[in-house]
Structure 1
Amino acid sequence: MASIRIADIHRPDLTNSEKIGPSITDVEHLSSYNWIESSTPTIAVPGCPPLWSPPKTPKKVAKDSGLIYIAQNAVRHPESPLEPLFRSLYIENPLYNIRLVDLITDRNNIRKLLSFINPNLSKNGLEPFTIDVEVTNNTAIFCRMEAETYMFIGPHEFRGYGHEFEKAFTTTQVSASTGHHRIISYNFGDLKFIVRYETDAYVDELSEVQSRNVELENGSLLSMMKTMSLSQQESRSRLPAESKLVMKEEGKQVPIQSTLEIKTRVAHKPINIQEVLPQLWVSQTPNLVRAYHKGGLFEPPEVEDVTREITKWEEDHASDLRGLIILIKEIIRVVRENDGNAVIKYDGRSDNLEVWRRNGRKMLPDDLYSKLGDKTESAQAIGSDPQKTKLKIGDTFYSIDISMMPYLSSFVRFQRLAQPQSTDFIHQNIPLFDIGVIPQLPYPKYWQLRGVGHLDLLDFKRSGLPRHAFQRRVSEEYFETATPYLEQQVSFNVTPTFSVVQIHIGCLHATLTVKGGFLVSKDFATRYTIRSFSRYLAWGLQEELDEEAQKDCYYLYLDFLEYRQLFNSKEMSFHGSVFQSLE
Structure 2
Amino acid sequence: MANVGTEPSANGITDAKMALTNESNLSARLDSLSLQQISDTKKFVVPARRNRPRHSRDDRMLWGTSNLISKIHVEPQPAERRAEIGREASAPVKIQNHKYVASYNWKDIEHPTIYVPGLSRPFPRYNNNVHTNPTAGIPPKFTPPSLPIQLQKDNSTRSSARSPAAPVDPLFQAILQERPDFDMSSIDIVTTRRSLRDLLDFASCSTGKWRIDIDMVHNTMFINQWEEFRLMLINGRQNTEYGHTFEDSVVNKEAPLEDSLNHERIVEYELGGLKFLVRFEADAYLEDDDSETREPMKIPLSDPPAPKPSPVILKPPYKLVHVISRGRNVDPELIIELKSCSRGSINMGRTVPQLWFSQTKHLVVGYHKDGLVTRDLDMREMTEELDKWEADNQKQLKSMIHVIKSIRDIARTGDRKLTVVCSMVDGLKCLSVYRRTGRGMTIRPEVVAQCWKNSSTS
Query: By the TM > 0.5 criterion, same fold?
Result: yes
What residue is the counterpart of 1:369 in the other structure? Answer: 448
SS in 2 for 1:347: strand
Once the two structures are overlaid, the 10-residue window that deviates more, 359-368 or 89-98, is: 359-368
Secondary structure of 2:403 counterpart: helix
Aligned residue in 1 for 2:70: 7
Other-structure match for 1:109? 195
Q: Is 1:76 aligned to 2:162, yes or no? A: yes
| 2:380 counterpart residue number | 304
2:358 maps to 1:283: yes
Change (3 A) 1:313 1:67: closer
- The superposition leaves residues 368-399 of structure 1 with CA deviations (integer Å, 9 ceiling, x where unpaired) of 222454999999xxxxxxxxxxxxxxxxxxxx
Do 2:420 and 2:431's aligned partners in 1 also have CA atoms closer than 8 Å? yes
1:58 to 2:148 alignment: yes
CA distance in 1, matches of 2:74, 2:263: 35
Q: Deviations over 1:136-165 (max 9, x none)?
A: 222111111133845796xxxxx5211001
Structure 1 residues 164 and 21, CA gap change in structure 2 (3 angstroms): same
Aligned partners of 2:274 and 2:294: how far apart in 1?
Answer: 28
Shift of 1:242: 5.0
Q: Tell me whether 1:274 sits opposite 2:364 in the alignment.
A: no
Choose which of 258, 264, 271 in structure 2 pairs with 1:175.
258
Residue equivalent to 1:147:
228
- Looking at structure 1, the residues matched to 419 and 71 of structure 2 have their Cα atoms a distance apart, in angstroms, of 12
Change (3 A) 1:337 1:151: same
Superposed CA deviations along residues 238-286 of structure 1, whole A, max 9, x for unmatched, are xx965521010222232221111111111x4211423311101111110
CA-atom RMSD, angstroms? 3.4
Answering whether residue 270 of structure 2 is matched by residue 187 of structure 1, we say yes
Q: Does structure 2 conserve the Cα–Cα contact (< 8 Å) formed by 1:99 and 1:371?
A: no
1:356 is matched with which residue: 411, 434, 439? 434
Residues 170-223 of structure 1, C-alpha deviations (whole Å, 9 max, x = no match): 11131211211000001112111100001111111267499899xxxxxxxx99
The residue identity in structure 2 corresponding to 1:369 is V
Alpha-carbon contact 1:102-1:193 (below 8 Å) kept: yes
Structure 2 match to 1:23? 94
SS in 2 for 1:355: strand
* 143-152 vs 133-142, greater mean Cα deviation: 143-152
User: Does structure 1 conserve the Cα–Cα contact (< 8 Å) formed by 2:166 and 2:320?
Assistant: no
1:85 to 171, 190, 194: 171
Q: Which amino acid is 1:58 matched to?
A: P
Following superposition, the deviation at residue 8 of structure 1 comes to 1.3
Q: Is the 8 A contact 2:214 2:419 kept in 1?
A: yes
* 8 Å CA contact retained: 2:139, 2:284: yes
CA positional deviation for 1:66: 3.7
> Aligned partners of 2:156 and 2:402: how far apart in 1?
41
Going from structure 1 to structure 2, the CA distance change for 1:58 and 1:378 (only over 3 Å counts) comes to farther
CA distance change for structure 1 residues 189 and 283 in 2, over 3 Å: closer, same or farther? same
Secondary structure of the residue aligned to 2:406 is helix
Q: Which amino acid aligns with 1:351?
A: K
Per the alignment, residue 199 of structure 1 pairs with 282
Q: Which has the higher helix share?
A: 1
Amino acid across the alignment from 2:197: R
Q: Pick 1 or 2: higher relative contact order, CA cutoff 8 A, min separation 6.
A: 2
How far did 1:169 drift? 0.8
SS at match of 1:29: strand
Is the 8 Å Cα contact of residues 166 and 318 (structure 2) preserved in structure 1? no
SS class of match (1:295): coil
In the alignment, which residue of structure 1 is the partner of 2:246? Answer: 165
CA contact (8 A) 1:263 1:290 kept: yes
SS across alignment from 1:251: coil
| Separation (CA, whole Å) in 1 of partners of 2:358 and 2:289 | 18
For 1:201, the aligned partner's letter is A
SS at match of 1:279: helix
How many angstroms apart in 2 are the aligned matches of 1:8 and 1:41? 37
Identical-pair percentage: 30
2:171 maps to amino acid: L
Q: Output one character per residue of 1:272-316: Cα deviation in whole Å (capped at 9) or x when no partner.
A: 423311101111110001110022111330321101100110011
Query: Aligned ranges for residues 109-508 of structure 1 at < 5 Å?
Result: 109-119=195-205, 125-147=206-228, 149=233, 159-173=240-254, 174-205=257-288, 208=291, 231-233=304-306, 242=318, 244-266=320-342, 268-298=343-373, 299-349=375-425, 350-363=428-441, 364-371=443-450, 373=452
* Residue type at the aligned position of 1:370: A
Return the letter of the residue paired with 1:282: F
Q: Kindly indicate whether the alpha-carbon contact (under 8 Å) linking 1:44 and 1:247 is maintained by their aligned counterparts in 2.
A: yes
Of 18, 21, 38, the match for 2:109: 38
**Structure-1-length-normalised TM-score:** 0.55
Distance 1:59 1:23 in 2: 40
Match of 2:138 among 37, 43, 48: 48
| Partner SS for 1:167 | helix
Asked if structure 1 preserves the Cα contact closer than 8 Å seen for 2:214 and 2:418, the reply is yes
Give me the whole-angstrom Cα distance separating, in 2, the residues matched to 1:312 and 1:160: 31
Q: 1:65 to 1:134 in 2, by over 3 A?
A: same
Q: For the structure 1 residues 207 and 66, does the alpha-carbon distance in structure 2 shift closer, same or farther, using more than 3 Å as the test?
A: farther
Q: Distance in 2 between the 1:340 and 1:4 partners?
A: 14
Consecutive unaligned residues of structure 1, counting only runs of 5 or more, are 120-124, 154-158, 214-221, 380-583
For residues 317 and 209 of structure 1, what CA distance do their matches in structure 2 show? Answer: 41
Structure showing greater radius of gyration is: 1
Q: Distance in 2 between matches of 1:151 and 1:141?
A: 21
- Whole-angstrom CA distance in 1 between matches of 2:238 and 2:210: 21
Residues 486-508 of structure 1, C-alpha deviation per residue, up to 9 Å, x if partnerless?
xxxxxxxxxxxxxxxxxxxxxxx
Runs of 4+ in 1 over 6 A off after TM superposition: 209-213, 374-379
